[in-house]
Amino acid sequence: MEFSEEKVFHILLHGGNARSLAMEAIHDAKKRDWQAARRKIRQAEDEIRKAHRIQTAWIQQEAGGERKNVTLLLVHAQDHLMNAITVKDLAVELIDLYKRISTSGGAKA
């Protein structure tokens, strides 16, 4: 895969989409819309996969001896992707907690 600024922006785009979808999933869970929450988590995972494919191709190329120029924009994109993955993982846990609280009659103060 060609190393280009355009592909770096794709990582940013997909990472941002994933993070937004994960946050929307949390809000859906707060409203007890479990189906929408699950759907948005799946969409977030799809966005993460798209970004991860680009990242993985570049890592494999570099491991094969093809050097890449690391720019601040690339570092930012990588950070963006890792944050999206973290937010998605936490969203899954929060959705589970909201569901448990909902089915147990609510939280006790």
Burial (CB count <10 Å: 0-12, 13-18, 19+), residue 93: exposed
Do the annotations mark residue 33 as ligand-binding?
Answer: no
30 alpha-carbon distance from chain centroid: 20
Q: What is the DSSP letter of 42?
A: H
DSSP 3: -
What is the crossing angle of helices 34-63 and 5-30, to 10°? 160
Set 10, 27, 52, 76: catalytic member: 76
Q: Is 80 tagged catalytic? A: no
Q: Which two tokens mark 73?
A: 């924009």
Q: What token pair was written down for 7?
A: 């592909």
Q: Which residues are catalytic?
A: 76
Known binding positions: 79
Known binding positions for Mg(2+): 79
